[in-house]
Structure 1
Amino acid sequence: MVVPEGAIVVEVLNKGNYEHWSALVKNYLLAQDLWDVVEATAEPPIAEAEADQFVKAWRKKTAVALHAIQISCGPYAFSVIKEITSAKIAWDTLAEKFKPQPFVPSNSPVQSATSSNNPGYYNDFHQYQPLFDAVWSGDRNKAKEFLILHPNAVRARHPYSNKTALHMAIELEHEHIVEEIVQLMTEEELEIKFLGCTALALAANQGNIKMVECMVRKSKKILTIPIENNNLTPILLACFNEHWDVVRYLYSVTPIEDLMPEKGPYGAGLLCQYICAKNFDMAQELIRRCPQLVLTQDTYGVTPIHALAFLPSAFPSGTHLKFWQQCIYKCIHIDPSRAISDVRLSVQNEGNEEGNRREITWSVLGLLQGLISNLHELLGINRICEMKLMHIQSLEILDRMCEVIRPSYGKELEDVYEAIFRAIERGIFEFVDHLLKECPHLWRAENRMRKNIFHFAIECRQEKVYSLIYRLDKRKRSWIGNVSDSSNNGMLHVAGMLSPLAKLDTISGAALQMQRELQWFKEVETMVFPRLREALNAEYLTPRVLFTKNHKDLVKEGERWMKETATSCTVVGALIITIMFASVFTVPGGNNGETGLPIFLSRKLFMVFIVSDAISLFSSTTSVLMFLGILTSRYAEDDFLKSLPTKMIIGLSTLFISIAAMMVAFSSALFIMIHEQLWIVIPIIFLASVPITLFIWMQFPLLVEIFISTYGSGIFDRKVKQWT
């Protein structure tokens, strides 16, 4: 930790520097004449007349001394004494908490005496110091010689850090020294902990596979010893730090019995970690060997099915691909039984199996393969391939989970219900669809607010999940449309509530957001009985009144957005009208003075100019009229569903047509006047088209979005097949 300039100590107090820290702080307090308030056992006796003055001075010195101690502490040390108001008590508390224990072999009775009352403390330190010096410097031979002469030294602890030689060697990553120490240790000695952490846990946390293998060969019992403060086993620590080579090794040597639910939350924790890290091949293997882990909670109360419900990216619905990426995704064929890593391994080893006769041939093939591989990497095919494999594997895991869930009942299903609602919240359509298909009884699932799956899908505005209602028969749909939650809100009341902001932000413009809200309301309205459209909730509000109340601000924002868009487009349209109208009377080349006809009337390009000018004028006039209609609209709620979007579509479409026609008229006029100077005509046309092209490029996606939202197939899939 950085210490500010002018601080009392060079390093704030932590668990490894108490001796140095206390010496520095004590010297400072002595220099400031403050040590007496720390050392004194009580306030000295004083005369009654001087009592008030002395008490004030004593309290001031105590406060100054306490402040000096506090600012010399690290965050953890300060948290220990932050409520203490006495400098002496604070000093003693820190001494008790941070002063190292006497340096004695761990096979001796543990003593709480400090170095001040334990005469053998320094003798023990000097006795074992050569071992720690050898470990620190990485001298394998010296460490080995010392351990042979002093076998008990493997249990000794460093006087300041309280670490054993093995813990220190692991932290310093001296693999050879670790091997020597482990060979001279018993299985029980390998269970010695530092800060509640065994040596194996420390090595797994660092991801050193050689040190892990060395200790596991010595003792299998340490595989399941958790850390005291967070209850994590070595394999879980390796998972948290994504040391997957260590994880695979530890899993291969861990008996499956130690991962069973009866042995604690460790098996479920491991499965959750596999799922969260998207190591689905390892997760499938663990579920196959121990299926009951699916509904078992880990140390943090999370079940594996919960963990999967929190991973939208593991399913197709949570992955957003561009059009060309979707085409590649559909064309890729994945064999789910083969992992990508296995394929790569076989490719790497393929050349080693061939003789020298075909070395040149394989070199050429390898070069071609490298070019293809680079092309795949450039186009993102490898990434899409891995993504599709992950999607297939996640569904396979879900299949295995369904096999466990299908016969479950009662309390076991509560975790499944919770997982379903979390998946709905994150829009994982495949998760919900798969569970309801394999376990049909789950369609009645409710959360704590008595909202069923489809109520919650409406609340979260997950249209794909809601469309699953069409997989149910008519009787079940009627039942769902009739039920209410704990606030007496029916489906239509829920549709009358405002969408989550995260969903609204995915839609461009407040007007389209309001349109989407109306589409939801109208869709759900068709699902409920007519009498329920006027039903009252706990606040005595009908669905329509609730909708109006919750969307009044969105209506205002939609009105402002529509008017601002219409105003800006009206200005552009009016300019085009002015230019196109004037250009008819100032045609290229001018008019014949005798007949009044245009001079270039006989040229074909002149007719192109006239026609494109007329198209631009008429379409821009139509556009301006449409935008004026938007500006003068009444802006009722239902206008956002069809009326206003239709006007915007016509207005933008005709505006784009007028801009394109104007560019054609401009280009043809240039060709007519200076057709022999193409070297200057073409660059001018290109430069003139840039700002107009940019305008179309920025506004055209909006036009497409409005058209699809208004006249597209809709966001709800009513043609889904019923579950069989």
Structure 2
Amino acid sequence: MIAESYRRPRGRVENKLKDLGGYLPLYKAVVKGEWNKARKFLDDDPEALTAKITIASETVLHIAVGTGKDLEFVDKLIRRMSPENLALTDQNGETALSVAAVVGNIRAAKLLVSKNPDSPNISGKLGLPIHRASQYGQETMIRYLLDVTRDDIESSPFAGESGGKLLIDIITAEFFGIALYLVGRYPEMATAEVHGVGSPLSVLARKSNAFPSGAVSRWHLLFDYHEILELDDAKAFSLLQQPLLIAARLGTHEIIEEIVEAFPPAIWASDEENHNVFQLAVLHRQENVFNLIYQMSDYKHLITRYIDHPHDNKILHLAGELPSSDRLNLVSGPALQVQRELQWFKEVKKFVQPGQKEAINKDGKTPWMVFREAHQQLMKDGEAWMKTTAQSCTVAATLIATVAFNAGLHIPGGNNNQDGQPLYSYQPAFGAFAVADAISLFSSVTSILMFLSILTSRYSEDDFRIALPRGLVVGLSMLFISILSMMIAFSSAIYLVFGLQRARTVIPVGSVLVLPVT
């Protein structure tokens, strides 16, 4: 039975290919742009001009427009066809203009529209030509079709779900200038709802890259204040809830600010688990959104009282949970990730009521218990990472300290046999050598001590928050200084021993030695 089910469609396809086989010379001529061969075929068989000549039910015009090779070929085909013929569709309901919109063949589109001005308003299964151009990111085509697509007909493409879908496609393609133009011309598009997708504002909320610093004031146009204020409270709340929560998850704080300014009650929106804007910001570690709490009045104390479902977690419990890996990996190294998590927990703790700091959720856990349990493995990884880093850097610092100590005992050029003074003590380079070598020795020893303190640490939560990161930063800084000083001391020594008579050769070589540090 299974084998039989596969044979039947294959047979239908083979039969269809046999039926279309007679059009193969025409198909080849169109693909290659050979008009003389195509003209002869069409003269012999005039019906081929409007026939479905491919398995996808494409006409000659569909193929010619889709290849985009020869505008003259397309022009000659259109001259032979009636305006009604230009509305013929393939198996996907695509007209020739829709194909031109998909591939961005703007010259062919102009020819088609001049022959049949109604063609921009002929919709296929996937929408109008302007929808298809938007879906495929053809910006020039979109701008042209905006001028020739009529909006004075009964079912305007810029109204209702059609208009909302068009605006969403344009925002998805990141043609924000066109989006602003459309909303300015058709304000109702901003409040349109598209089944299964949501509103244009919801899509815009996912585009965090659309909000460079200082440019946010432009985007209030994408949800016109007057359109929202004309809605009743329930409809306005329903419209703005989804984009507000999406913005909170993704950190698009500009969207949140604009929505709350237009409709302040939206700040009370929550998702199906009763997470509000600030709880989502804490859960997804979006500091730009959480920082908006500083701009609020005493309402912030009410906002932080929300309890989620079904775990009865308060906002501090959410701060104790482990975030997704993409947010965690914003900081390199498990130890520094633990530090960031501890800082998050401490910051959120400032805003909760005293009773919430030790509140118990449905599992009988306090916020701190949730934190320790969720971050247990991360802290183990942080301890291992910190020890490995400290051990590696200790070896490097020890080697530098050994070299610097030995260089101090073996002065370049040696000493004077009469009074034991260094032979080159009068040279400026000798002073640079002495100072750089001393700095290299002292900084490398300091680095060793810092890394030893890291190796002997208790690795408690408080250590991860302050002591360990600070020790790592100081140790790495001292190690860097010791390497830089060692290179300066080495360059000075090379100059003293070999460069007094050959300065033009040695000085460039010494300068090259500093490049690794740079």
TM-score range, shorter chain: 0.7 to 0.9
**Superposition deviation, residue 445 in structure 1:** 1.6
* 2:349 corresponds to 1:525: yes
In structure 2, the partner of 1:617 is 441
Q: For residue 234 of structure 2, what is the amino acid of its counterpart?
A: G
What amino acid does structure 2 have at the position aligned with 1:99? Answer: N
Aligned-pair CA distance for 1:288: 2.1
| Counterpart in the other structure of 2:223 | 401
Pick from 453, 478, 493 the counterpart of residue 301 of structure 2: 478
Letter in 1 for 2:278: F
The residue number in structure 2 matching 1:180 is 79
- Which one of 495, 501, 518 corresponds to residue 676 of structure 1? 501
The answer for the alignment partner of 1:497 in structure 2 is: 321
1:534 aligns with 2:358: yes
**Cα 1:138–1:658, aligned 2, differ >3 Å: closer, same or farther?**
closer
Distance of 2:261 and 2:393 partners within structure 1 = 50
Q: 1:176 to 1:650 in 2, by over 3 A?
A: closer
1:581 aligned partner: 405
Matching residue of 1:449: 273
Residues 130-139 or 407-416, more deviating: 130-139
1:251 Cα offset (Å):
2.0
Deviations 1:363-387 (A, max 9, x none): xxxxxxxxxxxxxxxxxxxxxxxxx
Asked if 1:227 corresponds to 2:120, the answer is: no
Q: What percentage of aligned pairs have identical amino acids?
A: 35
Structure 2 match to 1:99 = 15
Q: Closer, same or farther in 2 for the Cα pair 1:489/1:649, shift >3 Å?
A: same
1:465: how far off?
1.1
Separation of aligned partners in 2, 1:641 and 1:158: 71
Closer/same/farther in 2, CA of residues 502 and 172 from structure 1, 3 Å limit: closer
User: Contact 2:150–2:156 at 8 Å: present in 1 too?
Assistant: no
Letter in 2 for 1:177: K
Q: CA deviation at 1:645?
A: 1.9
Displacement of 1:417: 2.0
Residue in structure 1 matched with residue 459 of structure 2 by the alignment: 635
1:245–1:143 Cα change, 3 Å: farther
Aligned-pair distance for 1:582? 3.1
Residues 93-118 of structure 1 show CA distances to partners (whole Å, capped at 9, x for unaligned) of 54456634998xxxxxxxxxxx9xxx
- For the 8 Å contact 1:156–1:164, the answer to whether it is kept is yes
Tell me how far apart the structure 1 counterparts of residues 275 and 510 of structure 2 sit (CA, whole Å).
62
Note the residue ranges of structure 2 that are not aligned, 5 or more in a row.
none
1:292 and 2:116 are equivalent in the alignment: no
Query: Following the alignment from structure 1 to structure 2, what is the Cα–Cα distance between the partners of residues 601 and 170?
Result: 84
Other-structure match for 2:248: 424
Asked if the contact 2:491–2:510 (Cα under 8 Å) also holds between the matched residues in 1, the reply is: yes
2:102 match: 205
Contact 1:266 1:299 in 2 (8 A): no
SS in 2 for 1:642: helix
Any conservation in 1 of the 2:159–2:188 contact (CA below 8 Å)? no
Q: Which residue of 2 aligns with 1:661?
A: 485
Letter in 2 for 1:244: E
Give the one of 676, 680, 685 matched to 2:510: 685
Aligned to 1:381: none
Aligned pairs (5 A) from 1:273-672: 273-298=169-194, 301-316=197-212, 392=215, 395-403=217-225, 404-408=227-231, 409-411=233-235, 413-473=237-297, 475-486=298-309, 487-591=311-415, 598=422, 600=424, 606-672=430-496
SS at match of 1:99: helix
Return the match for 1:247 from 115, 121, 142. 142
CA distance in 2, matches of 1:165, 1:609: 83
Aligned-partner Cα distance in 1 for 2:420–2:100? 97
- Once residues 282 and 144 of structure 2 are traced to their aligned partners in structure 1, the CA distance between those partners, rounded to angstroms, is 46
Unaligned runs of 5+ in 1: 1-82, 104-114, 116-121, 318-390, 698-724
**Paired residue total:** 505
Deviation at 1:192, TM superposition (A): 3.5
CA contact (8 A) 2:281 2:287 kept: yes
Structure 1 length normalisation: TM-score? 0.62
Q: Does 1:271 align with 2:167?
A: yes
Preserved contact between residue 436 and residue 485 of structure 2 (Cα < 8 Å): yes
Paired with 1:166 and 1:605, the residues of 2 have a C-alpha distance of 82
- CA 1:243/1:671 → structure 2, altered by over 3 Å: closer, same or farther? closer
Look up the equivalent residue of 2:15 and give its one-letter code.
Answer: K
553-562 vs 241-250, greater mean Cα deviation = 241-250
Q: Structure 2 length as normaliser, TM-score?
A: 0.84
Larger radius of gyration: 1
Q: Which whole-Å CA distance do the structure 2 matches of 1:142 and 1:580 have between them?
A: 90
Contact 2:440/2:485 (8 A) holds in 1? yes
One-letter identity of the residue aligned with 2:147? S
- The amino acid of 1:470's aligned partner reads Y
In the aligned structure 1, how far is the partner of 2:293 from the partner of 2:346? 15
> 1:141-180 counterparts in 2 under 5 A?
156-158=51-53, 162-164=57-59, 166-167=61-62, 170-171=65-66, 174-180=73-79
